[in-house]
Chains A and B, each alone.
Chain A
Amino acid sequence: GQQVMQIPQYQHVQEGEDFTTYCNSSTTLSNIQWYKQRPGGHPVFLIQLVKSGEVKKQKRLTFQFGEAKKNSSLHITATQTTDVGTYFCAGNTGTASKLTFGTGTRLQVTL
């Protein structure tokens, strides 16, 4: 079955440092979504990428979808303590409604 892996599993940075999480799918995706889950909270949708090679920005967050549509990345510039949480990518393989979530990257930011 489809597998979606993320690296790293965990990253601890100091406030102001950059952060990147990488997402790799075993199969080609029709689109990829990114979610953020705060400790004790629920996943919150961040963005969706559909096109091969697509790059989208949201303030300090930059999202990329690979040319082969099998990988993606999320980069946060100058992290803040409010960025703390677990970031999940989630892939969709076409008309299937099922999202396959990645393993997640837990981000810890300290002053």
Chain B
Amino acid sequence: NAGVMQNPRHLVRRRGQEARLRCSPMKGHSHVYWYRQLPEEGLKFMVYLQKENIIDESGMPKERFSAEFPKEGPSILRIQQVVRGDSAAYFCASSPSPIVYEQYFGPGTRLTVT
């Protein structure tokens, strides 16, 4: 049973470009969460999605960031016009249920903006 998959594992973008991060949840999991981790810091919640729905995006910056989880295919976190401050590790997690349940994390995408 494959775990949570994320790609790419490393992504380098120049300022102003777009970054697309993909996450495939564990089989049977329909709840996906995105977190951002700055170097030497904790994880900050960004967004929670179910298939075709954004449930909670209270942690998402208002501009340049968007997320989706289509009926078919992986969840995508999209960052437009990246800036140096976007450099971080972005982790995706999935769970079979949103209530009182552990989250399984993917290996993360390390985004570097030059």
CB atoms of B91 and A97 under 8 A apart: no
- Once A88-B42, A99-B33 are accepted as A-B contacts, the answer to whether A42 and B100 lie under 8 Å apart by CB is no
Tell me whether B74 is interfacial, beta carbon within 8 Å.
Answer: no
Tell me whether B1 is interfacial, beta carbon within 8 Å.
Answer: no
Among the interface residues B33, B55, B101, B102, which one has the most CB atoms of the partner chain A within 10 A?
B102
CB atoms of B99 and A42 under 8 A apart: no
Interface residue from B58, B103, B108 paired with A45 (Cβ < 8 Å): B103
Report Cα–Cα, A88/B44, bound state, in Å: 12
CB atoms of A98 and B102 under 8 A apart: no
Interface residue from B58, B99, B105 paired with A44 (Cβ < 8 Å): B105
B-contact bits for A19-57, CB 8 A (1 contact / 0 none): 000000000001101010000011111001010000000
Residues of chain B lying within 8 A (CB to CB) of residue A98 = 33, 45, 48, 56, 58-59
Among the interface residues B44, B91, B99, which one has the most CB atoms of the partner chain A within 10 A?
B99
Q: Is the interface of A mostly helix, strand, loop or mixed?
A: loop
Tell me whether A92 is interfacial, beta carbon within 8 Å.
Answer: yes
Interface residue from B44, B48, B107 paired with A42 (Cβ < 8 Å): B107
- Once A43-B91, A48-B100 are accepted as A-B contacts, the answer to whether A97 and B43 lie under 8 Å apart by CB is no
CB atoms of B56 and A42 under 8 A apart: no
Residues of chain B lying within 8 A (CB to CB) of residue A95 = 98-99
Residues of chain A lying within 8 A (CB to CB) of residue B55 = 97
Residues of chain B lying within 8 A (CB to CB) of residue A104 = 41-42
Residues of chain A lying within 8 A (CB to CB) of residue B101 = 48
Residues of B with Cβ closer than 8 Å to A? 31, 33, 35, 41-45, 48, 55-56, 58-59, 91, 93, 95, 98-108
